């Protein structure tokens, strides 16, 4: 019901088809009605919304505390098993994780069944959450996780004489859990839950922390394997005073056939990096779903972004060259390290030189991208977006892991009494890691908060304001040139003059307004910022940084970790403190590269 004296706004299609009445001036709108004096009581809907939001906030706080308690209990079990605490074995840990997965499976089955029963109802969706490329990535990692589960089942069969039944049940449950969870995320990652909100909050947060515990379990197993290999290599660098007692969890019985069991054991650790990425990606997608429970949608309309492989030959070529060089460096590093002291030192120097060159190129590309965005006056997207906020927090939070290791290396170099030649290459490498990640974070945050560029072929007609029962039609000159939403028209089109941003004037007033405003575009900006060259340069930068982050994810994920093999930090800080620090920070450093690559892919599609 519209207020008296006003009619409903005319739709854009009706505005286009309406005949020109010849009116040259807009009809004045009535002044806004002042509020009734003496009215201090808030409107009834506002009071109702406050009452409704209180239990929602309480349910959110209670569910988060439940999830944190589950996570802390699981971490303590992991720690107890890692330090060989009495009375806590691996079977106890696996039973706890299996119970968590089974509980999540029951909740997911209930949710999927209830959604199927009410599939005809219109459901709100968060268009920013669960992008198709993200679901495709998690599907790829899930497939490798299922393969990892099959290898673990084969490992259990080989050592079945001395392994508990929990070690055979766990991989089977994990494989089923992975398949159903991927199906759940494909169908419901965008849901905005508005019913059974308290129950759904507990179910989703349980799923989040279950995946985080599975991630922590995989990280711990992979770290133990890497640490054993590191201890065996340290002696070749001349650090004989460091203990090399192995923390081995090999079963106390023989496997038949031994060759197959050895191949399965090595294959498991090569697949762990993909399993680790799967668990953390699943937990982030589920966390966004938890934040969307009971969310009130704003009026901001999301513009669909599309992948365009055009005009990025330079960035793609440079990125692929870095990727090829990375594979070569990793292969040579793993072959040379630990063979002898001279070969280990040459492998470390080779890695540092390679990483320094790549980080310099990435930092330069990020600075150019930030400069382009700073010179551009494109509007910012300030709408509420839980997925984007989580991405930003994860970028800064996970980057702190590598910053911690880099500052530790810098202090070790400055405080060490004796510094071998190869350790000096670690100083510029550590400084560049800090600088490059800071620059890259700024570039990604700047890009994700920009409105997507509007294509030149898109013309959006503004809705004409209607006041006092009379409407004003669009001027013919506006219909010819096309009115574009926003303040800046696409390249190659005329910007129609406006009164208060919503109505065109006569042709004569058009010329007068143009002469008063001057040429379009911000004065003093470089010429390429007003053309497609800006988008092409930014797409090349995003493509290059995307491939470089994939390249820098490979070395630490597959055992090329100079933080372990350098040896200088262990002398300065002590072996145990430094190894604990590396084991805590390295998973975040590895995840940062994959998460940054995912964010840069989204930036590329958005440009």
Block residue for tokens 């669909």: 304
pLDDT at 6: 45
Angle of helix 426-448 relative to helix 575-606, nearest 10 degrees, comes to: 40
CB-count burial class (<10 Å; 0-12, 13-18, 19+) for 581: middle
Contact predicate 305/602, CB 8 Å: yes
Segments of the chain with pLDDT less than 70 = 1-56, 120-123, 126-128, 130, 195-197, 234-252, 294-309, 377-384, 451-531
pLDDT at 235: 62
Question: Whole-model pTM?
Answer: 0.70
Instruction: Report the distance separating Cα 371 and Cα 600, nearest Å.
Output: 17
**Could you give the 3-state DSSP secondary structure of residue 559?**
coil
Distances (CA, A) of 215 to 75, 124, 200, 220, 274: 11, 30, 23, 9, 11
Going by the DSSP 8-state scheme, the letter that residue 456 receives in this structure is T
Instruction: Report the distance separating Cα 502 and Cα 540, nearest Å.
Output: 36
What are the phi and psi torsion angles at 525 (to 5°)?
-80, 150
CB-count burial class (<10 Å; 0-12, 13-18, 19+) for 146: middle
Pairing of strands 470-471, 466-467: antiparallel
Contact predicate 291/386, CB 8 Å: yes
Q: Which residues pair with 470 in a beta bridge?
A: 467
H or E segment and range at residue 318: helix 313-336
pLDDT at 41: 46
SS3 for 184-215 is HHHHHCCECCCCCHHHHHHHHHHHHHHHHHHH
Instruction: Report the distance separating Cα 365 and Cα 357, nearest Å.
Output: 13
Instruction: Report the distance separating Cα 400 and Cα 589, nearest Å.
Output: 8
pLDDT at 607: 75
pLDDT at 120: 67
Paired tokens of 397: 């939070």
Longest dimension (CA), the chain: 95
Instruction: Report the distance separating Cα 379 and Cα 382, nearest Å.
Output: 9
pLDDT at 4: 44
Please, what is the Cα angle at 213 between 212 and 219, to 5 degrees?
Answer: 90
Give per-residue burial for 408-434: e unless 16+ CB within 10 Å, then b.
bbbebbeeeeeeeebbebbbebbbbbb
pLDDT at 72: 94
């Amino acid at each position: 019901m519209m207020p008296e004296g006003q009619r409903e706004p005319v739709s854009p299609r009706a505005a286009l088809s309406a005949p020109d009445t010849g009116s040259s001036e807009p009809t004045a709108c009535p002044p806004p009605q002042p509020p009734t004096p003496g009215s201090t009581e808030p409107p009834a809907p506002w009071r109702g919304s406050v009452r409704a939001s209180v239990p929602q906030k309480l349910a959110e706080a209670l569910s988060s505390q439940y999830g944190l308690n589950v996570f802390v209990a699981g971490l303590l079990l992991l720690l107890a098993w890692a330090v060989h605490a009495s009375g806590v074995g691996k079977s106890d840990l696996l039973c706890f994780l299996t119970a968590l997965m089974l509980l999540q499976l029951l909740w997911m089955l209930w949710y999927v069944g209830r959604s199927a029963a009410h599939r005809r109802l219109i459901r709100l969706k968060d268009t920013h959450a669960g992008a198709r490329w993200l679901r495709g990535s998690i599907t790829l990692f899930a497939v490798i996780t299922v393969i990892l589960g099959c290898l673990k089942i084969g490992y259990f069969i080989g050592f079945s004489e001395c392994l508990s039944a929990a070690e055979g049940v766990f991989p089977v449950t994990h494989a089923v859990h992975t398949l159903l969870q991927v199906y759940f995320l494909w169908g419901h990652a965008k849901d905005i839950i508005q019913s059974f909100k308290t129950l759904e909050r507990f179910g989703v947060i349980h799923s989040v922390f279950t995946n985080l515990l599975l991630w922590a379990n995989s990280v711990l197993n992979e770290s133990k394997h890497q640490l054993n290999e590191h201890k065996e290599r340290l002696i070749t660098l001349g650090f004989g005073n460091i203990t090399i007692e192995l923390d081995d969890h090999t079963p106390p019985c023989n496997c038949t056939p031994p060759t197959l069991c050895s191949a399965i054991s090595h294959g498991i650790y090569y697949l762990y990096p993909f399993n680790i990425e799967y668990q953390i990606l699943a937990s982030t997608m589920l966390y966004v779903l938890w934040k969307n429970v009971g969310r009130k949608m704003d009026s901001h309309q999301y513009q669909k972004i599309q992948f365009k492989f055009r005009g990025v030959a330079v960035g793609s070529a440079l990125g692929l060259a870095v990727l090829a060089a990375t594979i070569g460096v990793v292969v040579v590093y793993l072959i040379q390290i630990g063979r002898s002291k001279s070969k280990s030192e040459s492998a470390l120097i080779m890695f540092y030189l390679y990483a320094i060159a790549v980080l310099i190129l990435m930092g330069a590309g990020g600075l150019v991208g930030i400069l382009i965005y700073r010179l551009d006056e494109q509007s910012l997207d300030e709408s509420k977006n839980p997925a984007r906020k989580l991405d930003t927090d994860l970028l800064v939070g996970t980057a702190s892991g590598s910053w911690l290791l880099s500052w530790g290396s810098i202090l070790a170099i400055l405080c060490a009494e004796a510094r071998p030649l190869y350790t000096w290459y670690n100083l510029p490498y550590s400084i560049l890691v800090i600088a490059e990640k800071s620059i890259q974070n700024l570039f990604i945050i700047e890009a994700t908060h920009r409105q997507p560029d509007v294509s030149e072929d898109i013309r959006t007609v503004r809705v004409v304001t209607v006041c006092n029962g009379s409407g004003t039609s669009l001027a013919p000159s506006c219909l010819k040139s096309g009115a574009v939403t926003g303040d800046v028209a696409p390249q190659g089109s005329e910007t129609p003059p406006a009164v208060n941003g919503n109505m065109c004037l006569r042709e004569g007033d058009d010329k007068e307004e143009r002469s008063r405003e001057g040429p379009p575009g911000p004065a003093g900006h470089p010429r390429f910022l007003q053309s497609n060259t800006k988008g092409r340069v930014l797409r090349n930068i995003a493509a290059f940084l995307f491939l470089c982050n994939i390249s820098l994810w490979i070395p630490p994920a597959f055992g090329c970790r100079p933080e372990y093999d350098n040896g200088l930090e262990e002398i300065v800080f002590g072996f145990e403190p430094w190894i604990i620090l590396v084991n805590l920070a390295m998973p975040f450093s590895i995840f940062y590269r994959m998460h940054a690559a995912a964010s840069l892919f989204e930036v590329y599609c958005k440009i």
